[in-house]
Amino acid sequence: MTAVLKHELRSYFHSLTAYVFGAFLLMFVGLGALRYNIQAAVSNFEFVLEYCSLVLAIIVPVLTMRVLSEERRQKTDQLLYSLPISTTQVILGKYLALLTVYLVPLCIVSLYPLIFSRFGDVYLPAAYGSIFAFFLMGAALIALGVFVSSLTDNQGLAAGLSMALMLFNYFSVSLSEYVSATAFGSILALTVLILLLCVLVRFVTKNENLAYLLGIVLMLAVMAAYFFHISSFENLLPRVMTTLSLFARFESFVNGVFDLTAVVFDLTVTALFLFLSVQSLEKRRYN
């Protein structure tokens, strides 16, 4: 794992990748600090991070797009498979390198509240709590980006797809107000989701029967739940959209609440997508 980590770090810091990523993040944090802390003279640093959270949805996909898709395109993935290291070690090494690239600008950012506190009354626990939450949210987004990159050998597609997913995740709370809150609307959305899942299963496992079976079982489950417990479907779709939003959970830190469920959620999302990335890489060996 250390070999992969060192190799990735070298490639990020020898090329412009790490610097451009860091520069963009620092630039937006700087703009935010200028706008809130200096021009508006607000002492809450957490607002700056809230302002910057949308930026993550743009720059993280650009950072993660090539991590696995480029290996596949250059056929260097065959080297990784033939080396005496496991797929888990490869993914972890690559992920930790990305995390380091992300952590470096955040370390610089974490000096800002200290600097500001010399000129005014900054509530440091809230500021550092939200920097911590910002880090965790980024970590989860990077894991998502790694997974999307493992699906294709086309960097552009990987970037576009993860950007779309992250933006949807960002706006899902506001969007949830506009989606149907009725039970029927939720059923419809669930059906679409199940169909998408089946298509994905069919595509990944190349096993049509499994996809059909899964689809039928899930549809029956949904229908059974609909007849026996119709009330649970009221408002289901907006609730799900809000619950799954990484960005919405970050808000509670901005509001000064150290939300442990958000920490657990971020870590779970990270672990899930890293696990899926390992499976996606492993699967290519079994096609």
Partner 1 sequence: MIEVEHLTKRYGDVTAVSDLSFTIQPGQIYGFLGPNGAGKSTTMNIMTGCLSATEGHVRIDGHDIFQEPNQAKRLIGYLPEQPPLYLNETPLEYLRFVGEAKGLKGPALTEQIGEVLRQTGLENVRGRRIAALSKGYKQRLGIAQALLGDPQMIILDEPTVGLDPLQIIEIRDLIKELGKTHTVLFSSHILSEVQAICGQILILSKGKLVAFDTPENLERRMTSNEIVFTADAPQDVVVDILVQTEGVSPLDLQEKSPGLTEARIGAEEELYDVSRRLFFAFAERGIALLEIGLRKANLEDIFIELTEKEAQGKEGQNHDGSAEA
CB 138 within 8 A of CB 166: no
CB 256 within 8 A of CB 50: no
Mask: binding to partner 1, 199-238, rule CB under 8 A, as x and -? -------x--------------------------------
Kindly calculate the radius of gyration of the chain based on its CA atoms and give it in whole angstroms. 21
Residue 79 makes contact with partner 1 by CB under 8 A: yes
Candidate segments 83-91, 106-114, 129-137, 151-159, binder of partner 1 by CB under 8 A: 83-91
Among the listed residues 16, 20, 76, 203, the single contact to partner 1 using CB under 8 A: 76
Shortest approach of partner 1 to residue 74 CB, angstroms?
7
Shortest approach of partner 1 to residue 285 CB, angstroms?
5
Place of tokens 């479907």: 233
Among the listed residues 39, 82, 231, 261, the single contact to partner 1 using CB under 8 A: 82
What's the 3-state SS for 77-145? HHHHHHCCCCHHHHHHHHHHHHHHHHHHHHHHHCCHHHHHHCCCCCCHHHHHHHHHHHHHHHHHHHHHH
Residue 4 makes contact with partner 1 by CB under 8 A: yes
- Ramachandran quadrant class, 182 (left: phi over 0; alpha: psi -120 to 50; beta: rest): beta
Shortest approach of partner 1 to residue 243 CB, angstroms?
37
- Near partner 1 in 167-206, by CB under 8 A: 206
Among the listed residues 111, 209, 260, 285, the single contact to partner 1 using CB under 8 A: 285
